[in-house]
């Protein structure tokens, strides 16, 4: 099996040590860093994302695969910076004010990273102003919000209001998700996309950013 394929296989199994060793070896053997990224790490993560969507793998599998991806990325990053690999886009992600659930948000971040986004994690219990301030600061394409409590869902609308008040609503692609969130709610508060899972979020985010460029 070609070394890049092996990287993808080990990543899907969550074998961080093997991924790290193989990425190091591939670089030493002169493999193109972009091919290692796209055909090894990112393609492995996409496969896991698809399986997660179909309930063929579960949250812990995705978490360990993502950890393996991050280990490989850490080896690869200095080389990608050298050759100036542009991210697909930038995303600012957080769990809304009053809400401390972050497992889903973290999965969304990993999947977005998996399709090539630069991620800025705001953490949990995030004030509406902070979403907008950070997006402006880093020049984000996407603002992503997560909520797991029906009592904190309205705070997603507060972020939309904050964007409108500053005349910035059209500047960003706004995405929301979390177990109690629905398509209907997304329409009511005027965001661009709701998706029920992290893999679909990554797919749609990539497409939406590419369409805007």
Q: What is the DSSP string of 54-70?
A: TTSS-HHHHHHHHHHHH
State the binding string over 145-184 for ligand B12 (x if CB under 6 A, else -): xx-xxxx-----------------------xxxxxx----
Choices 43-51, 65-73, 139-147, 182-190; region in contact with ligand B12 by CB under 6 A: 139-147
Q: Does residue 162 sit in helix, strand or coil?
A: helix
Torsion angle, CA of 156/162/165/170, rounded to 10 degrees?
Answer: -70
84: left (phi over 0), alpha (psi -120 to 50) or beta: left
Asked if 101 is part of the footprint of ligand B12 (rule: CB under 6 A), the reply reads yes
Choices 37-45, 99-107, 129-137, 158-166; region in contact with ligand B12 by CB under 6 A: 99-107
Q: For residue 70, give Cα distances in angstroms to 11, 20, 135, 198.
A: 10, 9, 23, 17
Q: Which two tokens stand for residue 133?
A: 């301030």
State the binding string over 47-86 for ligand B12 (x if CB under 6 A, else -): ------------x---------------------------
Nearer to ligand B12, 40 or 104 (CB): 104
Q: Taking the chain, what is the end-to-end CA distance rounded to the nearest angstrom?
A: 37
Q: Does residue 101 sit in helix, strand or coil?
A: coil
State the binding string over 181-210 for ligand B12 (x if CB under 6 A, else -): --------------x-xx--x---------
The nearest distance, CB 57 to ligand B12, in angstroms, is 12
Choices 10-18, 69-77, 103-111, 115-123; region in contact with ligand B12 by CB under 6 A: 103-111
Rounded to whole angstroms, how far apart are CA atoms 86 and 131?
23
Residues within the interface to ligand B12 (CB under 6 A): 59, 98-105, 107-108, 144-146, 148-151, 175-180, 195, 197-198, 201
């Amino acid at each position: 099996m070609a070394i890049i394929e092996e990287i993808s296989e080990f990543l899907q199994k969550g074998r961080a040590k093997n991924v790290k060793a193989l990425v190091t070896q591939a670089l030493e053997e002169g493999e193109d860093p972009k091919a290692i990224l796209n055909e090894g790490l990112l393609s492995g993560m996409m496969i896991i994302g698809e399986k997660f969507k179909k309930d063929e793998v579960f949250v812990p599998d995705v978490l360990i695969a993502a950890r393996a991806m991050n280990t490989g990325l850490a080896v690869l990053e200095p080389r990608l910076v050298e050759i100036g690999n542009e991210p697909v886009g930038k995303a600012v992600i957080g769990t809304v004010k009053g809400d401390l659930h972050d497992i889903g948000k973290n999965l969304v971040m990993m999947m977005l990273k998996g399709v090539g986004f630069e991620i800025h994690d705001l953490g949990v219990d995030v004030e509406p102003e902070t979403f907008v301030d950070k997006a402006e600061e880093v020049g984000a394409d996407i603002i992503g919000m997560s909520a797991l409590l029906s009592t904190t869902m309205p705070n997603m609308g507060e972020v939309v209001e904050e964007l409108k008040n500053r005349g910035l609503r059209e500047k960003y692609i706004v995405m929301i998700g979390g177990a109690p969130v629905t398509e209907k709610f997304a329409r009511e508060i005027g965001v661009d996309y709701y998706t029920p899972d992290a893999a679909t979020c990554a797919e749609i985010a990539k497409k939406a950013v590419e369409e805007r460029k």
